[in-house]
């Protein structure tokens, strides 16, 4: 691997999954955030946090190549962002809400593998095996042949993650994957994220409005503070001063006897 230019990072193991260098983003004439300079280490599990409207989803759209930046340089997995990057798996916010009766879980996962292909061709046994493997991986194999509308919120979220990993993505972007999940399902999805990271050296970025359920697996955080994105190891982010400043309301950090961290307001 050769160094392309001074601040650039070579692609490959150990190099950052996402690099922002003086990036600003403008949408509809409004600056969403600016002066973004950070590097997300490969293989980390990153919480993307910040108050509503701070531009968390916007950060994902930049990484996906769906939104051009107004200034600065972006590098995703060692290359400029581009739409249709097969190395990124993406689960949008409210993902499952739009899906109705018209699709089975298995077919939805298959779309993550072959959905952008034109022309008629039956899926190959190898492709079907990869779909089955992804479904098994997230624990969704038992209900793979049901319609999405027949699944619970937690089951739908598993299927969505299966679709994101079916093409062996190196970077997973999950937008509010725990929204509308009860505690048990939320806990299981978090456990799944930890397992995925251990098994496949994948970088996972998770937008979350609540840090607590994710704390057991997070290694890093990107936080949008005062209109700028910052990156730090998770231990440096979960502090009362920073979180209180971030959310604009008093936040306390509690460490339990077992060593678990919690944040609470008030």
d(CA 49, CA 51) in angstroms, rounded, equals 7
Of the candidate spans 2-10, 34-42, 45-53, 209-217, the one that interacts with other proteins by CB under 8 A turns out to be: 209-217
155 lies in the binding site for other proteins (CB under 8 A): yes
Which residue spans within the chain are E strands per DSSP?
18-27, 30-40, 45-49, 71-76, 88-91, 171-175, 203-207, 220-225, 228-233, 251-255, 261-265
Of the candidate spans 18-26, 44-52, 106-114, 224-232, the one that interacts with other proteins by CB under 8 A turns out to be: 106-114
Of the candidate spans 28-36, 72-80, 129-137, 205-213, the one that interacts with other proteins by CB under 8 A turns out to be: 205-213
Whether the Cβ atoms of residue 212 and residue 262 lie closer than 8 Å to each other: yes
64 lies in the binding site for other proteins (CB under 8 A): yes
Contact with other proteins (CB under 8 A): which of 73, 128, 146, 228? 146
Whether the Cβ atoms of residue 243 and residue 231 lie closer than 8 Å to each other: no
Nearer to other proteins, 119 or 248 (CB): 119
Distance of CA 239 to the CA centre of its chain: 23
Contacts with 79 (C-beta within 8 Å, 6 or more apart), sequence order: 11, 85
163 lies in the binding site for other proteins (CB under 8 A): yes
Phi, psi torsion values for 140, nearest 5 degrees: -110, 10
Contact with other proteins (CB under 8 A): which of 83, 126, 199, 248? 83
Contacts to other proteins by CB under 8 A:
64, 66, 83-86, 88, 90-92, 95, 98-104, 107-108, 111-112, 114-120, 143, 146-147, 149-155, 163, 182-185, 187, 210-213, 254, 262-266
């Amino acid at each position: 691997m050769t160094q392309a230019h001074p601040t650039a990072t070579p692609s490959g193991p150990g190099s950052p999954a996402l690099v922002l260098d003086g990036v600003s983003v403008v949408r509809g004439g409004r600056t969403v955030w600016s002066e973004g300079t950070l590097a997300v280490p490969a293989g980390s599990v990153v919480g993307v946090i910040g108050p509503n409207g701070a531009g968390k989803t916007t950060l994902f759209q930049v990484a996906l190549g769906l939104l051009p930046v107004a200034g600065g340089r972006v590098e995703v997995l060692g290359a400029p962002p581009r739409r249709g990057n097969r190395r990124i798996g993406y689960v949008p916010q409210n993902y499952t809400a739009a899906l109705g009766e018209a699709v089975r879980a298995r077919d939805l996962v298959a779309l993550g593998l072959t959905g952008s292909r034109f022309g008629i061709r039956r899926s190959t046994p190898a492709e079907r095996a990869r779909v089955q493997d992804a479904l098994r991986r997230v624990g969704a194999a038992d209900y793979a042949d049901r319609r999405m509308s027949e699944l619970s919120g937690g089951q739908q979220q598993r299927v969505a993650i299966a679709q994101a990993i079916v093409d062996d993505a190196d970077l997973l972007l999950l937008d509010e994957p725990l929204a509308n999940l009860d505690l048990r399902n939320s806990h299981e999805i978090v456990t799944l994220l930890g397992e995925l990271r251990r098994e496949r050296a994948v970088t996972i970025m998770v937008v979350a409005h609540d840090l607590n359920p994710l704390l057991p697996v997070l290694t890093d955080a990107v936080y949008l503070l005062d209109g700028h994105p910052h990156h730090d190891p998770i231990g440096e982010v979960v502090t009362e001063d920073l979180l209180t400043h971030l959310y604009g309301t008093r936040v306390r950090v509690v460490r339990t006897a077992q060593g678990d961290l919690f944040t609470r307001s008030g």
